[in-house]
Amino acid sequence: MLLTPCPTERSREIAARVEAFVRHQVIPYERDPRLGSHGPSEDLVVELRAKARAAGVLTPHVLPNGEHLTQVETAAVLKCSGLSPLGPTAVNTMAPDEGNMFLLGKVASEEQKARFLAPLVAGNVRSAFFMTEPADQEGAGSDPGMIKTVARKDGQEWVINGEKTFITGAVGARVGIIMARTSEDHELAKATMFLVELPNAAIQVQRVLDTIDSSMPGGHSRIEIRDLRVSASQVLGEVNEGFKYAQVRLSPARLSHCMRWLGLGVRAQEIAGAYATKRHAFGKRLIDHEGVGFMLADNLIDLQQAALMIDWCASVLDTGDLGTTESSMAKVAVSEALFRVADRCVQVMGGQGVSRDTVVEQFFREVRAFRIYDGPTEVHKWSLAKKIKHAVLASESSNG
Protein backbone atom coordinates (compact mmCIF):
# COMPACT_ATOMS: atom_id res chain seq x y z
CA MET A 1 0.00 0.00 0.00
CA LEU A 2 0.97 3.62 -0.53
CA LEU A 3 1.03 4.84 3.06
CA THR A 4 3.12 6.90 5.39
CA PRO A 5 5.10 4.66 7.75
CA CYS A 6 3.25 3.17 10.72
CA PRO A 7 4.43 5.12 13.75
CA THR A 8 4.88 2.27 16.26
CA GLU A 9 5.57 -1.44 16.32
CA ARG A 10 2.10 -2.23 17.63
CA SER A 11 0.43 -0.17 14.91
CA ARG A 12 2.55 -1.87 12.24
CA GLU A 13 1.55 -5.29 13.52
CA ILE A 14 -2.16 -4.46 13.81
CA ALA A 15 -2.27 -2.68 10.44
CA ALA A 16 -0.59 -5.62 8.71
CA ARG A 17 -3.12 -8.07 10.14
CA VAL A 18 -6.04 -5.84 9.20
CA GLU A 19 -4.72 -5.40 5.66
CA ALA A 20 -4.26 -9.13 5.18
CA PHE A 21 -7.74 -9.84 6.54
CA VAL A 22 -9.44 -7.25 4.32
CA ARG A 23 -7.56 -8.26 1.18
CA HIS A 24 -8.00 -12.01 1.59
CA GLN A 25 -11.29 -12.45 3.46
CA VAL A 26 -13.38 -9.31 2.97
CA ILE A 27 -12.81 -8.35 -0.67
CA PRO A 28 -14.35 -11.62 -1.94
CA TYR A 29 -17.64 -10.51 -0.34
CA GLU A 30 -17.89 -7.41 -2.53
CA ARG A 31 -20.10 -9.30 -5.00
CA ASP A 32 -22.30 -10.81 -2.28
CA PRO A 33 -26.02 -10.47 -3.12
CA ARG A 34 -26.66 -9.27 0.44
CA LEU A 35 -25.11 -5.94 -0.52
CA GLY A 36 -27.89 -3.53 -1.38
CA SER A 37 -28.45 0.15 -2.07
CA HIS A 38 -28.74 0.75 1.68
CA GLY A 39 -25.58 -1.12 2.61
CA PRO A 40 -24.81 -4.68 3.70
CA SER A 41 -27.60 -6.66 5.31
CA GLU A 42 -27.54 -7.42 9.02
CA ASP A 43 -26.75 -11.10 8.50
CA LEU A 44 -23.81 -10.16 6.28
CA VAL A 45 -22.53 -7.78 8.98
CA VAL A 46 -22.76 -10.56 11.56
CA GLU A 47 -20.97 -13.01 9.26
CA LEU A 48 -18.13 -10.61 8.48
CA ARG A 49 -17.64 -9.68 12.12
CA ALA A 50 -17.52 -13.32 13.12
CA LYS A 51 -14.65 -13.77 10.67
CA ALA A 52 -12.91 -10.65 11.99
CA ARG A 53 -13.31 -11.88 15.55
CA ALA A 54 -11.80 -15.25 14.62
CA ALA A 55 -8.90 -13.48 12.88
CA GLY A 56 -8.26 -11.27 15.91
CA VAL A 57 -8.90 -8.00 14.05
CA LEU A 58 -12.30 -6.95 15.41
CA THR A 59 -12.26 -3.35 16.72
CA PRO A 60 -8.48 -3.24 16.15
CA HIS A 61 -8.07 0.39 17.23
CA VAL A 62 -9.16 -0.47 20.80
CA LEU A 63 -6.70 -2.71 22.64
CA PRO A 64 -7.83 -5.63 24.84
CA ASN A 65 -7.23 -3.55 28.00
CA GLY A 66 -9.60 -0.86 26.70
CA GLU A 67 -6.83 1.52 25.69
CA HIS A 68 -7.45 3.39 22.45
CA LEU A 69 -4.64 3.64 19.91
CA THR A 70 -3.30 7.14 19.39
CA GLN A 71 -4.82 8.98 16.46
CA VAL A 72 -1.65 8.58 14.41
CA GLU A 73 -1.68 4.83 15.14
CA THR A 74 -5.40 4.67 14.39
CA ALA A 75 -4.73 6.27 11.00
CA ALA A 76 -2.39 3.44 10.05
CA VAL A 77 -4.99 0.83 10.98
CA LEU A 78 -8.10 2.51 9.54
CA LYS A 79 -6.41 3.15 6.19
CA CYS A 80 -5.98 -0.62 5.90
CA SER A 81 -9.54 -1.34 6.97
CA GLY A 82 -10.73 0.93 4.14
CA LEU A 83 -9.18 -1.13 1.34
CA SER A 84 -12.69 -2.49 0.78
CA PRO A 85 -15.95 -0.58 1.36
CA LEU A 86 -16.92 -3.60 3.48
CA GLY A 87 -13.69 -3.54 5.48
CA PRO A 88 -14.65 -0.97 8.12
CA THR A 89 -17.95 -2.75 8.75
CA ALA A 90 -16.22 -6.11 9.02
CA VAL A 91 -13.58 -5.00 11.54
CA ASN A 92 -15.82 -2.52 13.40
CA THR A 93 -14.14 0.73 12.40
CA MET A 94 -17.11 2.05 10.39
CA ALA A 95 -18.95 5.32 10.96
CA PRO A 96 -20.86 6.17 13.03
CA ASP A 97 -19.79 3.41 15.43
CA GLU A 98 -16.11 4.35 15.49
CA GLY A 99 -16.90 8.00 16.33
CA ASN A 100 -19.54 7.01 18.88
CA MET A 101 -17.11 4.65 20.61
CA PHE A 102 -14.56 7.45 20.80
CA LEU A 103 -17.10 9.87 22.29
CA LEU A 104 -18.42 7.38 24.86
CA GLY A 105 -14.89 6.53 25.88
CA LYS A 106 -14.22 10.21 26.59
CA VAL A 107 -17.51 11.33 28.15
CA ALA A 108 -19.67 8.41 29.35
CA SER A 109 -19.95 7.36 32.99
CA GLU A 110 -18.72 3.92 34.02
CA GLU A 111 -22.30 2.65 34.15
CA GLN A 112 -22.96 4.06 30.67
CA LYS A 113 -19.78 2.50 29.33
CA ALA A 114 -20.87 -0.91 30.58
CA ARG A 115 -24.39 -0.47 29.19
CA PHE A 116 -23.71 1.24 25.86
CA LEU A 117 -19.99 1.21 25.00
CA ALA A 118 -19.01 -2.37 25.82
CA PRO A 119 -21.42 -3.97 23.30
CA LEU A 120 -20.16 -1.58 20.61
CA VAL A 121 -16.51 -2.39 21.24
CA ALA A 122 -17.37 -6.09 21.22
CA GLY A 123 -18.91 -5.65 17.77
CA ASN A 124 -22.20 -7.12 18.96
CA VAL A 125 -24.31 -4.06 18.15
CA ARG A 126 -24.32 -1.00 15.89
CA SER A 127 -25.14 2.59 16.79
CA ALA A 128 -26.55 5.81 15.37
CA PHE A 129 -25.87 9.50 16.04
CA PHE A 130 -29.03 11.62 15.84
CA MET A 131 -28.07 15.22 15.09
CA THR A 132 -28.86 16.34 11.52
CA GLU A 133 -32.43 17.55 10.94
CA PRO A 134 -34.65 17.99 7.85
CA ALA A 135 -34.29 21.10 5.73
CA ASP A 136 -38.09 21.31 5.32
CA GLN A 137 -38.35 21.75 9.09
CA GLU A 138 -35.57 24.37 9.06
CA GLY A 139 -33.61 22.17 11.39
CA ALA A 140 -29.92 21.70 12.04
CA GLY A 141 -27.70 20.68 9.14
CA SER A 142 -24.26 22.16 8.74
CA ASP A 143 -25.27 24.69 11.42
CA PRO A 144 -25.98 22.66 14.60
CA GLY A 145 -27.10 25.85 16.35
CA MET A 146 -30.35 25.58 14.37
CA ILE A 147 -31.35 22.41 16.22
CA LYS A 148 -35.12 22.04 16.60
CA THR A 149 -35.43 18.74 18.45
CA VAL A 150 -36.35 19.61 22.04
CA ALA A 151 -35.86 17.79 25.35
CA ARG A 152 -37.95 19.07 28.26
CA LYS A 153 -37.62 18.04 31.89
CA ASP A 154 -40.64 16.22 33.34
CA GLY A 155 -39.97 15.25 36.93
CA GLN A 156 -37.03 12.87 36.96
CA GLU A 157 -37.27 12.24 33.23
CA TRP A 158 -36.66 14.06 29.97
CA VAL A 159 -39.20 14.04 27.15
CA ILE A 160 -37.76 14.41 23.64
CA ASN A 161 -39.62 15.45 20.49
CA GLY A 162 -38.33 16.26 17.02
CA GLU A 163 -37.29 15.02 13.60
CA LYS A 164 -33.89 13.91 12.34
CA THR A 165 -32.61 13.00 8.90
CA PHE A 166 -29.59 11.40 7.23
CA ILE A 167 -29.18 9.31 10.37
CA THR A 168 -26.65 6.72 9.33
CA GLY A 169 -27.28 3.18 10.48
CA ALA A 170 -30.50 3.91 12.38
CA VAL A 171 -32.12 0.82 10.87
CA GLY A 172 -30.70 -2.08 12.84
CA ALA A 173 -28.92 0.07 15.45
CA ARG A 174 -29.13 -0.89 19.11
CA VAL A 175 -27.49 2.20 20.62
CA GLY A 176 -28.46 5.79 19.86
CA ILE A 177 -27.01 9.17 20.82
CA ILE A 178 -29.62 11.92 20.43
CA MET A 179 -28.77 15.61 20.35
CA ALA A 180 -31.63 17.82 21.55
CA ARG A 181 -32.10 21.45 22.53
CA THR A 182 -32.38 21.88 26.30
CA SER A 183 -32.72 25.66 26.55
CA GLU A 184 -35.60 27.96 25.61
CA ASP A 185 -33.21 30.76 24.68
CA HIS A 186 -33.11 30.71 20.89
CA GLU A 187 -30.40 33.36 20.83
CA LEU A 188 -28.08 31.16 22.86
CA ALA A 189 -28.87 27.60 21.87
CA LYS A 190 -27.82 24.88 24.29
CA ALA A 191 -28.06 21.18 23.65
CA THR A 192 -27.69 17.93 25.53
CA MET A 193 -26.80 14.42 24.37
CA PHE A 194 -28.95 11.49 25.47
CA LEU A 195 -28.17 7.77 25.27
CA VAL A 196 -30.97 5.41 24.25
CA GLU A 197 -31.35 1.73 23.61
CA LEU A 198 -32.87 0.89 20.24
CA PRO A 199 -35.33 0.03 18.85
CA ASN A 200 -37.74 2.24 20.76
CA ALA A 201 -41.43 2.75 19.91
CA ALA A 202 -41.03 6.52 20.34
CA ILE A 203 -38.33 6.61 17.61
CA GLN A 204 -39.81 5.80 14.22
CA VAL A 205 -38.03 5.46 10.88
CA GLN A 206 -40.11 7.41 8.37
CA ARG A 207 -38.09 6.18 5.41
CA VAL A 208 -34.61 5.12 4.39
CA LEU A 209 -33.30 7.68 1.93
CA ASP A 210 -32.04 6.61 -1.48
CA THR A 211 -28.58 8.13 -1.61
CA ILE A 212 -25.61 7.93 -3.97
CA ASP A 213 -23.52 5.94 -1.46
CA SER A 214 -24.19 2.36 -0.35
CA SER A 215 -21.45 1.20 2.02
CA MET A 216 -22.93 1.83 5.46
CA PRO A 217 -25.23 -0.74 7.13
CA GLY A 218 -28.76 0.55 7.58
CA GLY A 219 -28.33 3.37 5.07
CA HIS A 220 -29.41 6.89 6.03
CA SER A 221 -32.88 7.43 7.51
CA ARG A 222 -35.38 10.14 8.25
CA ILE A 223 -36.55 9.77 11.83
CA GLU A 224 -39.48 11.02 13.91
CA ILE A 225 -39.08 11.20 17.70
CA ARG A 226 -42.36 11.55 19.60
CA ASP A 227 -42.58 11.76 23.38
CA LEU A 228 -39.44 9.75 23.97
CA ARG A 229 -38.89 9.45 27.72
CA VAL A 230 -35.38 8.98 29.08
CA SER A 231 -34.05 8.98 32.61
CA ALA A 232 -31.44 11.32 34.05
CA SER A 233 -29.00 8.40 33.94
CA GLN A 234 -29.19 8.52 30.14
CA VAL A 235 -27.78 12.04 29.88
CA LEU A 236 -24.35 11.76 28.29
CA GLY A 237 -21.98 13.96 30.27
CA GLU A 238 -23.55 17.16 31.54
CA VAL A 239 -26.82 18.88 30.64
CA ASN A 240 -26.40 21.73 28.11
CA GLU A 241 -22.90 20.59 27.10
CA GLY A 242 -23.94 18.78 23.91
CA PHE A 243 -22.24 21.19 21.53
CA LYS A 244 -18.97 20.86 23.43
CA TYR A 245 -19.15 17.07 23.27
CA ALA A 246 -20.00 17.26 19.57
CA GLN A 247 -16.65 18.95 19.03
CA VAL A 248 -14.94 16.16 20.98
CA ARG A 249 -16.48 13.67 18.55
CA LEU A 250 -16.55 15.53 15.25
CA SER A 251 -12.86 16.27 14.64
CA PRO A 252 -11.65 12.68 15.16
CA ALA A 253 -14.72 11.27 13.39
CA ARG A 254 -14.29 13.36 10.25
CA LEU A 255 -10.59 12.45 10.22
CA SER A 256 -11.50 8.77 10.53
CA HIS A 257 -13.59 9.15 7.37
CA CYS A 258 -10.47 10.45 5.64
CA MET A 259 -8.46 7.46 6.86
CA ARG A 260 -10.96 4.87 5.65
CA TRP A 261 -11.59 6.42 2.23
CA LEU A 262 -7.87 6.84 1.65
CA GLY A 263 -7.59 3.06 1.88
CA LEU A 264 -10.22 2.62 -0.82
CA GLY A 265 -8.47 5.27 -2.92
CA VAL A 266 -5.28 3.23 -2.77
CA ARG A 267 -7.22 0.16 -3.88
CA ALA A 268 -8.88 2.01 -6.78
CA GLN A 269 -5.46 3.22 -7.91
CA GLU A 270 -4.17 -0.35 -7.82
CA ILE A 271 -7.07 -1.50 -10.00
CA ALA A 272 -6.77 1.38 -12.46
CA GLY A 273 -3.00 0.97 -12.67
CA ALA A 274 -3.28 -2.74 -13.37
CA TYR A 275 -5.93 -2.10 -16.02
CA ALA A 276 -3.87 0.57 -17.77
CA THR A 277 -0.77 -1.65 -17.73
CA LYS A 278 -2.52 -4.70 -19.21
CA ARG A 279 -4.85 -2.97 -21.68
CA HIS A 280 -3.50 -2.09 -25.14
CA ALA A 281 -4.78 0.57 -27.54
CA PHE A 282 -3.24 2.30 -30.55
CA GLY A 283 -0.21 0.08 -30.56
CA LYS A 284 0.89 0.28 -26.93
CA ARG A 285 -0.19 -0.15 -23.33
CA LEU A 286 -2.64 2.48 -22.06
CA ILE A 287 -0.22 3.55 -19.36
CA ASP A 288 2.33 4.43 -22.04
CA HIS A 289 -0.04 7.05 -23.42
CA GLU A 290 0.81 10.23 -21.52
CA GLY A 291 -2.85 11.18 -21.17
CA VAL A 292 -3.37 8.01 -19.14
CA GLY A 293 -0.02 7.67 -17.41
CA PHE A 294 -0.07 11.25 -16.18
CA MET A 295 -3.49 10.74 -14.58
CA LEU A 296 -2.18 7.81 -12.61
CA ALA A 297 0.90 9.83 -11.64
CA ASP A 298 -1.35 12.65 -10.43
CA ASN A 299 -3.25 10.07 -8.38
CA LEU A 300 -0.05 8.91 -6.75
CA ILE A 301 0.74 12.49 -5.75
CA ASP A 302 -2.79 13.15 -4.41
CA LEU A 303 -2.84 9.93 -2.39
CA GLN A 304 0.52 10.62 -0.78
CA GLN A 305 -0.45 14.21 0.05
CA ALA A 306 -3.72 12.97 1.55
CA ALA A 307 -1.86 10.44 3.70
CA LEU A 308 0.48 13.15 4.99
CA MET A 309 -2.43 15.50 5.68
CA ILE A 310 -4.19 12.80 7.71
CA ASP A 311 -1.12 12.02 9.79
CA TRP A 312 -0.46 15.72 10.41
CA CYS A 313 -4.00 16.28 11.72
CA ALA A 314 -3.84 13.08 13.76
CA SER A 315 -0.63 14.26 15.41
CA VAL A 316 -2.38 17.49 16.43
CA LEU A 317 -5.28 15.56 17.97
CA ASP A 318 -2.78 13.43 19.88
CA THR A 319 -1.59 16.54 21.73
CA GLY A 320 -5.06 16.83 23.28
CA ASP A 321 -6.01 19.77 21.07
CA LEU A 322 -9.54 19.63 19.63
CA GLY A 323 -7.99 20.14 16.20
CA THR A 324 -11.04 21.92 14.82
CA THR A 325 -9.07 23.98 12.32
CA GLU A 326 -6.74 21.16 11.37
CA SER A 327 -9.56 18.65 10.89
CA SER A 328 -11.43 21.11 8.66
CA MET A 329 -8.33 21.53 6.54
CA ALA A 330 -7.74 17.78 6.38
CA LYS A 331 -11.37 17.02 5.56
CA VAL A 332 -11.37 19.46 2.64
CA ALA A 333 -7.96 18.47 1.31
CA VAL A 334 -8.50 14.71 1.55
CA SER A 335 -12.09 14.56 0.29
CA GLU A 336 -11.28 16.77 -2.69
CA ALA A 337 -8.07 14.87 -3.48
CA LEU A 338 -9.82 11.52 -3.27
CA PHE A 339 -12.59 12.71 -5.56
CA ARG A 340 -9.96 13.66 -8.12
CA VAL A 341 -8.40 10.22 -7.69
CA ALA A 342 -11.76 8.50 -8.14
CA ASP A 343 -12.60 10.55 -11.22
CA ARG A 344 -9.26 9.79 -12.85
CA CYS A 345 -9.56 6.07 -12.07
CA VAL A 346 -12.96 5.97 -13.76
CA GLN A 347 -11.59 7.90 -16.76
CA VAL A 348 -8.54 5.66 -17.11
CA MET A 349 -10.72 2.56 -17.12
CA GLY A 350 -13.31 3.95 -19.53
CA GLY A 351 -16.44 1.82 -19.78
CA GLN A 352 -15.01 -0.60 -17.23
CA GLY A 353 -14.72 2.29 -14.79
CA VAL A 354 -18.45 3.06 -14.80
CA SER A 355 -19.47 -0.59 -14.55
CA ARG A 356 -19.88 -2.44 -11.28
CA ASP A 357 -17.39 -5.08 -12.32
CA THR A 358 -14.84 -3.43 -10.02
CA VAL A 359 -15.07 -1.40 -6.84
CA VAL A 360 -13.87 1.74 -8.66
CA GLU A 361 -17.43 2.75 -9.56
CA GLN A 362 -18.52 2.50 -5.92
CA PHE A 363 -15.48 4.44 -4.75
CA PHE A 364 -16.51 7.27 -7.08
CA ARG A 365 -20.02 7.33 -5.57
CA GLU A 366 -18.87 7.03 -1.97
CA VAL A 367 -16.24 9.74 -2.14
CA ARG A 368 -18.65 12.09 -3.93
CA ALA A 369 -20.94 11.80 -0.93
CA PHE A 370 -17.99 12.25 1.42
CA ARG A 371 -17.43 15.75 0.04
CA ILE A 372 -20.75 16.61 1.73
CA TYR A 373 -20.92 14.31 4.76
CA ASP A 374 -19.25 15.52 7.97
CA GLY A 375 -19.43 19.08 6.68
CA PRO A 376 -19.42 20.17 3.04
CA THR A 377 -16.19 21.53 1.64
CA GLU A 378 -17.68 25.02 1.43
CA VAL A 379 -18.70 25.07 5.12
CA HIS A 380 -15.20 24.11 6.22
CA LYS A 381 -13.68 26.76 3.95
CA TRP A 382 -16.11 29.36 5.29
CA SER A 383 -15.10 28.43 8.85
CA LEU A 384 -11.42 28.70 7.95
CA ALA A 385 -11.97 32.07 6.26
CA LYS A 386 -13.63 33.40 9.42
CA LYS A 387 -10.62 32.36 11.45
CA ILE A 388 -8.29 34.09 9.00
CA LYS A 389 -10.35 37.29 9.26
CA HIS A 390 -10.41 37.20 13.07
CA ALA A 391 -6.66 36.60 13.21
CA VAL A 392 -5.97 39.56 10.90
CA LEU A 393 -8.32 41.87 12.81
CA ALA A 394 -6.83 40.81 16.13
CA SER A 395 -3.33 41.45 14.82
CA GLU A 396 -4.29 44.91 13.54
CA SER A 397 -5.94 45.73 16.86
CA SER A 398 -2.89 44.68 18.87
CA ASN A 399 -0.61 46.72 16.61
CA GLY A 400 -2.70 49.64 16.67
- 64 phi/psi in degrees, rounded to 5: -55, -30
Query: Which superfamily, per CATH, for 9-121?
Result: Acyl-CoA dehydrogenase/oxidase, N-terminal domain (1.10.540.10)
Q: What is the pLDDT of residue 313?
A: 97
One-letter amino acid for residue 231 of the chain: S
Confidence check: pLDDT of 2 > 80: no
pLDDT band at 9 (very low <50, low <70, confident <90, very high): very high
pTM: 0.94
Q: What is the pLDDT of residue 186?
A: 57
Residue 137 vs residue 265, higher pLDDT: 265
Give the Cα separation of 400 and 200 in Å (integer): 59
pLDDT band at 146 (very low <50, low <70, confident <90, very high): confident
Mean pLDDT of 244-248: 90
Distances (CA, A) of 287 to 26, 346, 364: 29, 14, 21
pLDDT band at 5 (very low <50, low <70, confident <90, very high): confident
Tell me which residue of 276, 291, 311, 387 sits closest to 71, measured CA to CA.
311
Give the Cα separation of 258 and 176 in Å (integer): 23
pLDDT band at 277 (very low <50, low <70, confident <90, very high): very high
Whole-number mean pLDDT of the chain? 94
Q: Residue 307 contacts by C-beta under 8 Å, 6 or more apart in sequence?
A: 2, 3, 4, 79, 262
Q: What is the pLDDT of residue 196?
A: 98
- 231 phi/psi in degrees, rounded to 5: -85, 165
Residue 184 vs residue 84, higher pLDDT: 84
Q: What is the pLDDT of residue 284?
A: 97
Q: What is the pLDDT of residue 211?
A: 97
Mean pLDDT of 112-136: 96
Give ∠ CA 200-205-208 in degrees, rounded to 5. Answer: 145
What residue segments make up the domains of the chain, in order of their start? 9-121, 127-240, 243-399
Give the Cα separation of 276 and 293 in Å (integer): 8
One-letter amino acid for residue 295 of the chain: M
Give the Cα separation of 1 and 270 in Å (integer): 9
Q: What is the pLDDT of residue 144?
A: 77
Mean pLDDT of 213-227: 97
Confidence check: pLDDT of 396 > 70: yes
Mean pLDDT of 27-47: 97
The string of pLDDT tens digits covering residues 62-117 is 998 889 999 999 999 999 999 999 999 999 999 999 999 999 999 999 999 999 99
Residue 6 vs residue 331, higher pLDDT: 331
Q: Give the gyration radius of the chain's Cα atoms.
A: 22
Top CATH class, 127-240: mainly beta
pLDDT band at 159 (very low <50, low <70, confident <90, very high): very high
Give the single-character DSSP code of 84.
Answer: S
Query: 144-158, 166-180, 228-242, 350-364: which has the minimum mean pLDDT?
Result: 144-158
Mean pLDDT of 133-140: 83
pLDDT band at 141 (very low <50, low <70, confident <90, very high): confident
Confidence check: pLDDT of 165 > 60: yes
CATH 1.10.10.1150 describes domain 243-399: no
Q: What is the pLDDT of residue 187?
A: 53
Tell me which residue of 124, 22, 79 sits closest to 264, measured CA to CA.
79
3-state secondary structure of 161: strand
Q: What is the pLDDT of residue 188?
A: 58
Paired strand residues for 161: 150
Among the residues of 56-189, which ranges form H helices?
Answer: 71-81, 87-91, 97-107, 110-112, 118-121
